[in-house]
Structure 1
Amino acid sequence: MTALLVIDMQAGLFSSPAKRHDAEGVVERINVLIGAVRASRGRIIFIQHNGPAGDDLEPGVPGWDLLPALDREASDMVIRKEACDAFYRTSLLAALRSLGVERLVVTGCCTDFCVDTTIRSAASKDFQIIVAADGHTTADRPHLDAAAIIKHHNYMWENLILPGRPVRVEPTATILNSL
């Protein structure tokens, strides 16, 4: 079974002064993947970051909410986390195992933090991983712009040394053909 992970696509990350690269396009492509994964009887799992008190992602404040433009249904799972790694001290691994998930399609925000950490953690748990090359985003950082960060991470994930289980990094259009 396939599960689509939608990581930290939360209002507080998209309303901050640091603009997210191609935010509207990323949301559109995530929604296309949501529809395709649902049609193939896969599972949609939204990962939601719980920030500390006073943070834009503090539970209950408007910034904590998942983006309203995302195509969500009541049957979708939501896993809340407090660290960059969506597996760390959460029920994600147990949920994936109980559903019989073997393949993860990964999308979300932020490329260089929670998306990267979760991909590497999932790889160590022997999942087949497909990253939507155009389905994750971040903001410019002091030493590198967002587009370069995304390009760099796509390269890194494709070149992780994982014998027998390489990470596939593909555009959404290509992923749609393999679901």
Structure 2
Amino acid sequence: MSAPNPEQSALLIVDMQVGLFNGPEKPYEGSRVLGNIKHLIQQARQKEAPIFAVRHTGPAGSVIEAGSPFWQLLPDLELDANVDTLFDKTRPNCFLGTRLAQQLIDASINQLFIVGMKTQYCIESTCRAAAEQGFNPVLVADAHTCMDTPILSARAIIEHHNATLNGAFAKIVNTADTRF
């Protein structure tokens, strides 16, 4: 008989929004990443792990201004505002200017599985912030993405961040190895 897992886990879905995911620049392996995130949502629901989903909110007049069609979370995620915690942010760090840290504390969450977009901005900032605030961030290596840049391919950006965040800032796992 194995000992119970003392970690209380939650899933944090970052910026999986219509305008970012379906915009003119396509995310690297977007359909695979979306499929992995949907699998993690199902797994979290089966284990009754809380799901948090955040939208990046741009300034008035931007493509992702609050309330715009492109600001909305992807309908494919099938998130439910009556069950899941949906919130907005204006900075890359999901903790800055939000109630996320207090909500995690209130729910006794200490392990946070992080997925979504964009790897080099909001995913990186949130992993580092979660570690600094005493949570145990777990970056799901095959469930975050970004777009190519003029300097680096999205694949290189993702691989680099999986390598550099591993250890001091996050534990790295693949979708298949994720356990809530």
Where 1:154 maps in the other structure, the secondary structure is helix
Q: What is the CA–CA distance in structure 1 between the aligned matches of 2:67 and 2:48, rounded to whole Å?
A: 31
Q: Which position in structure 2 is the counterpart of 1:29?
A: 36
The answer as to 2:5 corresponding to 1:5 is no
Count of residues in correspondence between the two structures: 172
The answer as to 2:152 corresponding to 1:149 is no
Q: 1:131 aligns with which of 103, 114, 139?
A: 139
Q: Which position in structure 2 is the counterpart of 1:87?
A: 95
TM-score, normalising length: structure 2 = 0.92
The answer as to 2:64 corresponding to 1:57 is yes
Gaps of 5+ in 1: none
Q: Which position in structure 2 is the counterpart of 1:119?
A: 127
Offset of 1:72 from its aligned partner?
1.2
Gaps of 5+ in 2: 1-7
Equivalent AA in structure 2 for residue 93 of structure 1: A
Q: Which position in structure 1 is the counterpart of 2:173?
A: 170
Q: What is the CA–CA distance in structure 1 between the aligned matches of 2:46 and 2:21, rounded to whole Å?
A: 28
Identity in percent? 35
CA deviation profile, 1:104-124 (whole Å, cap 9, x unmatched): 000000001011101100010
Q: What is the CA–CA distance in structure 2 between the aligned matches of 1:82 and 1:158, rounded to whole Å?
A: 26
Q: Which position in structure 2 is the counterpart of 1:107?
A: 115
* Aligned-CA RMSD value: 1.1
Q: What is the CA–CA distance in structure 1 between the aligned matches of 2:61 and 2:144, rounded to whole Å?
A: 26
Q: What is the CA–CA distance in structure 1 between the aligned matches of 2:156 and 2:148, rounded to whole Å?
A: 9
TM-score, normalising length: structure 1 = 0.93
Q: What is the CA–CA distance in structure 2 between the aligned matches of 1:15 and 1:42, rounded to whole Å?
A: 28
Q: What is the CA–CA distance in structure 2 between the aligned matches of 1:14 and 1:40, rounded to whole Å?
A: 27
Offset of 1:55 from its aligned partner?
1.2
* Most deviating of 31-40 and 148-157: 31-40
Offset of 1:126 from its aligned partner?
1.1
Offset of 1:67 from its aligned partner?
0.6
Equivalent AA in structure 2 for residue 146 of structure 1: A
Equivalent AA in structure 2 for residue 85 of structure 1: N
Offset of 1:41 from its aligned partner?
1.7
Offset of 1:15 from its aligned partner?
2.4
Q: What is the CA–CA distance in structure 1 between the aligned matches of 2:127 and 2:20, rounded to whole Å?
A: 20
